[in-house]
Structures are given as structure tokens and as C-alpha cells.
Structure 1
Amino acid sequence: MVIADTHLLGSRNGHWVDKWRREWQMHRAFQTAITLHRPEVVFVLGDLFDEGKWCPEKEFNDYVERFHKLFKVPEGTKMHVVVGNHDIGFHYKITPSLAHRFEKKLDAPPVRLMSVRGNHFVLVNSMAMEGDGCRLCARAVNLIEKIADILKCSNGSPLCKSNMKVDNYSRPIIMQHYPLYRESDSICTEPDAAPLPERNSLFEERWDCLSKESTEYLVESLSPRAVFGAHTHHSCMVRHSFVPTSNHKIEFIEYTVPSFSWRNRLDPKYYLLTISPKEVKVSKCGLPREWTMQVTAVVMFCVLVVYLRFSSTAAHYGYKYLSGKKV
């Protein structure tokens, strides 16, 4: 199961009633989905928090505790998160303490390789793909180089430098917050893509998506078979074909996961993945529109009032009848 952009409110933005309402909605929707589908793994693609980049230590700890309560997973299901710009800030705003506390509290290093039943996932901090040689970026690149070498060795490449391997090699799946480089969402044709004219707005590299250079670096280093990102709050599916050399082509599909929050869109979504070492099947699941939920709540409240009134009247009539009083 893949969700993204939950954007839990902090103490600065939004009224407490709105915060409580939104969080209750997401909690119920998530728990219903978990109970219904029983996924083996849940990925959360960044922007868990709306104000993680601003809040002090105590507030951040409260944030983390709320997140785990709202998105609690049952025994047998594992959750993995990648960091988003609202969690620690855009690249130019990230401090070592902001990056460290998210990594420590959410167990989310800049880059991680994990395997599930012969399927390999690379989780990437998108803000560490700036390419400017900063400490965070250098660490991320170093980890990508090591993972790339492990995958090459596992695939039997003569170019690998170490003896480390994964069991049952298959091309990896990248999980990150930013989409890969694209000029805009104009190529997105899904019904839940960005609305017009927003869809035609040009993307700013390193702000709306990864830079073109970082995208090429990730793809050529890891040769993914699928990529999942978020950040835009809208849906998109892009078929990529990279040709690093004349005799080598890297083809894969990139999915941009819409926001799971009613604050960001009227119809939140989540993805269900069925994955084997040979294929990736993706199903998109929609949540009810907020208007539908509001109308349903009003109708149910009216039904409850009528029921209580009827029950009270019936009970009063029955009492008079049984007591022998003339009605």
C-alpha cells in the first residue's frame, strides 16, 4: 500500500476543529483500508507533517506520536517512510538537526535498500538529490553508489567492485517524494491529474521535481523497473525510456501518487501494489469526496434525531398503556 502527503497540521496552520476533523477522516480511511486489504508493507512518500520544517523538538516528538497513532499498522504489516520537503524543509532550508531528527525518529536514512520476497526497493530522500556536494547530498550519493554496486554484483555484472549481493536479483523500485524530472503535468492524462490550467504550469527543477541531472543519475545508477513519487498532490503516469548508451535502454513507468488528505484534494487516493520479481501491478483506490461524507453525516444525524424522538414517544406511550392510565 502506498500513501503520500498526509500533511498533519501543527500548531500554526488551521483551526483545531479543522485539524481534528481532517485527522479523524484520515485515521478512519486508513484503518478501513488496512483492515480491508491487509498489505504486507505500507510506504508513505513524504510530507507526513505540514509544519515539520518549523516546529521545535517537543512539538516534533508530539507530531511523530500522532502520526503513529493515526496510521497504526497491525502486526505483520511493516511501514516505511521517505522524507518530504514539509518534514525537514527544501534543500536550502535543511539543517543537520532537522535531517537528523527525522531520520532518527522515523528510521529514514537518506537512501535505503530493502527487499521483500525478492523485490528490491530503494528509498530516496529527494532533497538530498540537489547535486551540490553538501554533507547530506554527499552521504546520499555515497549510499546510492554502494547500492548500485550491490545490484550490479547481484546481476552478475563484471563491473561490480564488491562481493555484496541481494538474493534473487530483480531491477529495483524507487520510492521517493519528488517526481522525476518533467517539464510539467501536461503529459498527465488521468482523470485525477492536476486541473487545467495548473496542469500546464512549468515545473521548477529541485522545487516541483528532481533536476534533470539527478534524474539521469538515479536512473542510470539503479536501472529501476518502476518509480513512485508524490509531492504534486495529483495523479500522473509517465512511461520513461532512457538510452544511456547506444546498446542499452532503460524503460520503466513512473507513478505520481495523489495526496491522502482531504485538505489537498476533494478525492484523496491511495495505491495498492501487487509485485513479483517480474511485474508490478498498480491499482488506484479512491476515498469518498468530502461533500459526500458531509451529506452522509448530516443525513445520519437527522435519522438519529428522528429515531430518538420516535423511541422516546413510543416508550412514553407504552408506559401509560401498561400503567392503566387513559390515553
Structure 2
Amino acid sequence: MMVARSRLNVRFLGKITAAIASVIFYCEFLHYYVIISRCQWPALDPRTANQNVTDKGTHLHAMLIADTHLLGRRNGHWFDKLRREWQMHRAFQTTVTLHKPSVFIFLGDIFDEGKWCRPEEFVEYMARFHDLFYVPEDSHVLVAVGNHDVGFHYSISPYLVNRFQRAFDVGPVDLMQIEGVTFIIINSMALEGDNCFLCQPALNKIKIISKQLSCAAGDREACKHWQSHALKQYSQPVILQHYPLFRDSDAVCSEPDEAPEDVKYMRFRERWECISKDSTEMLLEALSPRLVFSGHTHHGCHVEHTSSQGSTVHEYTVPSFSWRNKRNPTFTMLTVSSNNYSIYKCHMPHEVTVVMIYVIAAILLLAWLVKKKLRSQGIIYTKVSKHID
């Protein structure tokens, strides 16, 4: 009798363990596949094609994320840190598995405490970054620096800037061409315009890149000085930076992941929430971009800017990738060629949905346990059908 009862208890515990494990497996693993599998790479839009640029026929699939804010030793609870990093890891790696991006773009504020952390903490940060956001070896990783990575302009130091630049192999301003697509990565804190140790080299590099682009576009005068650094082909650049270009506020935004109403109409301060108006005009005139991607605000936005030449420049502000900063985080899926592009906004699992699944599962499990207890005490009975031949 005791052996039979022991076997029943083992089976009972086995069923409970299997049920709990199944719910956890779905919520923490399978649910990401269910949601992110609905996303897709957008087809190139003929309306965004530049008819003045010859397309080689190749295109890139780029995943853009911003403001991961990996927590350090100072801010946040250990469980909050563990939970947010697991969510970002699963969303990122699920996207890698399902959609296989060839380019990964991080728009700054990778670290929450990069501007404060000691050397040994920064080493830990880098190890966690590579573990959480592991990418295939043949992928391209483009990283823009954010104010949380090295500090705001007033507190920035050569040591912090150099540490980050060495770790991610990026400078104040970098030009990169991949499959004919031109990317320009800019340190937003280098656009203060005060000739500081960081700003002057950045401005000089922007002038050089401007000449290189002009040469590639067919300006023979520009080619006299930059022939040895000529680009393989001309393609209107895509600017990647942490701060948005100048705008008064997020009031112009109309996106499903836009800022909430109590934040949307707050005025932006130049050089804090966005770069200055002068720097914006300088970038648009010198680089003539077709696209600008930014982060920093933690909310989604699409803005159309007008350059001094009268052309329209589209800017997309990518919201925070962390559930700690955004209740409905998204990331951007970009299909881009040398003269065309198309954008798709991929929504990640909502945390409230995951919580509700756990709550419903707990209620069902509790109801099953109560029913089993009442049945064992004879309070409720199982109806048995009796057949008489």
C-alpha cells in the first residue's frame, strides 16, 4: 500500500513539474519565436529609389536596436538586471535564428553605467555584451556611441572615449561601405561645436567624408585631393548616431511605439535630447544623407527634414530595446541597397502578455490541485458510467 501511494505521489509531482516547466519554456523561449516569426524583411519600395544612382542589384538586411542600457553594479536590482538581459538576449537571438540579418546596428547607450565604471567593470560589460548579442562571424556590426557609454559632452574625457572606441573599433566619425551601401557613424557628443579635443577631429573628418562623397558622385575637383581614398561607388549615405537631429519635441511623431502623452510634448533641449540646429544643418548640407537613424529618447519617431538643397531626409528614431525603458519595445528591420530602402518595425513580446500567461497558468494549476484535493476527501465525485449487457 505504501509503495503504491509513493508511486502515486511521484507521478503527481511529475505532472506538476512538467506543467510548470512547459509554461516556463513557452513564456521564456517559445513565445519569442511565435511573436518574432510574424516579422519579415520588407521588400524594396520603388518610391524610395534614387533614380540618379545605379543600383548593383545587391541589398542588405540590417537589424537596428538602440538603448539596451545593460545595468552595472550601481543601478537596478539584481533580478531586474537578470530579467531584462534575458528578454533582450532571447529577442535578439530569436531574430538572428529566424531572420538572419547580415548587418547589426547598435545606436548607442549600450551600457547604462559606461561613463562611471572602472576598467575591470568595463571588461565585464564587454563580455556580457558579446554573450547577450552574439552574432555570426561573417556579420557586420556597426556601433554608435551614446552618452551613457562615455558621458555627456560636459563630462566626457579622452580616457572614456578611447576606451569605448578601442573596444568597438569606431572613431568620432567613421565611413563604411558595405555592398555599395554607405554608412556614416557619428559620435553625437562630438557635435557640440566648441572645438574640443573630440569635436574638432570629428568636424575635420566630416569635411573629408563630404569630399569623398562628392568625388564618388562625379565632382572632378573633389577627386583631385581624394582620389586615393575614393569610394567604389556613390550612394547617398545612411547616418547612424545616438542623438536625434534637431526637433522641437516628439509632438511630430506618430508611431505605435511613440512617446506617451505626458512626454510627447515636452520641449527638447539642444545638445541634450537632440543635437543642435546648427549641427543638424551642417550634417545635412555636408553629407546629403537619405536616411538618419538615431536613439536616445527611448521612443519611436519618424521625422522628415528638409536639407538646404531642398531634398527630403527621413529620420527614424529607434526606441529602447529594453523592457526596463519601454513597455512595448520594437526594433527596426531595414532592407537597403545602394539607391533604395524599405523599413519594417518588428514588435517584440509584450511583458504584460507573458505575465498574464503565468497568472492564468497559476490559476489553472491551483484549480486542478483544489479539485484533486476535494476529490480525495470525497467532497466531489467522478461520475462513472455503468454498462449493463
**Same fold flag (TM > 0.5):** yes
Relative distance call for 1:301 and 1:145 in structure 2 (3 A) is farther
Aligned to 2:68: 6
Q: How does 1:1-327 map to 2 (within 5 A)?
A: 1-160=63-222, 161-163=225-227, 164-243=229-308, 248-299=309-360
User: In the alignment, residue 162 of structure 1 is paired with which amino acid?
Assistant: W
**Distance in 2, Cα, partners of 1:198 & 1:74:** 38
Residue range with higher mean Cα deviation, 1-10 or 159-168: 159-168
Give the superposition deviation at 1:306.
9.7
Give the superposition deviation at 1:145.
1.3
Aligned to 2:52: none
Contact 2:257 2:329 in 1 (8 A): no
**Distance in 1, Cα, partners of 2:219 & 2:202:** 23
Contact 2:302 2:314 in 1 (8 A): yes
**Distance in 2, Cα, partners of 1:305 & 1:77:** 47
Point out the structure with max Rg over C-alpha: 2
Deviations 1:176-209 (A, max 9, x none): 0000000111111112211113111100000000
Residue range with higher mean Cα deviation, 188-197 or 90-99: 188-197
Deviations 1:240-285 (A, max 9, x none): 1122xxxx32322110001100000111110000001121100000
**Distance in 1, Cα, partners of 2:344 & 2:180:** 21
Aligned to 1:316: none
Aligned to 2:372: none
The alignment partner of 1:272 has SS state of strand
Considering fraction of residues, name the structure with more strand. 1
Deviations 1:6-38 (A, max 9, x none): 000000011111111111111011100111110
Q: CA RMSD in A?
A: 1.9
Contact 1:176 1:228 in 2 (8 A): yes
Q: What number of residue pairs does the alignment pair up?
A: 306
User: In the alignment, residue 200 of structure 2 is paired with which amino acid?
Assistant: A
The alignment partner of 1:288 has SS state of coil
The alignment partner of 1:135 has SS state of coil
User: In the alignment, residue 269 of structure 1 is paired with which amino acid?
Assistant: T
**Distance in 2, Cα, partners of 1:39 & 1:146:** 30
Q: TM-score, normalised by structure 2?
A: 0.75
**Distance in 2, Cα, partners of 1:106 & 1:306:** 53
Give the superposition deviation at 1:49.
0.5
Considering fraction of residues, name the structure with more helix. 2
The alignment partner of 1:134 has SS state of coil
Give the superposition deviation at 1:231.
0.4
The alignment partner of 1:252 has SS state of strand
The alignment partner of 1:296 has SS state of helix
Give the superposition deviation at 1:296.
2.6
Contact 1:45 1:83 in 2 (8 A): yes
The alignment partner of 2:89 has SS state of helix
The alignment partner of 2:198 has SS state of helix
Q: Provide structure 1 residue ranges, at least 5 long, that are not aligned to the other structure.
A: 309-327
**Distance in 2, Cα, partners of 1:210 & 1:108:** 20
The alignment partner of 2:105 has SS state of strand
Q: TM-score, normalised by structure 1?
A: 0.89
Contact 1:38 1:77 in 2 (8 A): no
Relative distance call for 1:301 and 1:26 in structure 2 (3 A) is farther
**Distance in 2, Cα, partners of 1:304 & 1:222:** 61
User: In the alignment, residue 300 of structure 2 is paired with which amino acid?
Assistant: S
Give the superposition deviation at 1:170.
1.0
**Distance in 1, Cα, partners of 2:363 & 2:335:** 42
Give the superposition deviation at 1:158.
3.8
Contact 2:257 2:330 in 1 (8 A): no
**Percentage of identical aligned residues:** 52
**Distance in 2, Cα, partners of 1:300 & 1:167:** 58
Q: After TM superposition, which residue ranges in structure 1, 4 or more long, deviate above 6 angstroms?
A: 301-308
**Distance in 2, Cα, partners of 1:304 & 1:29:** 28
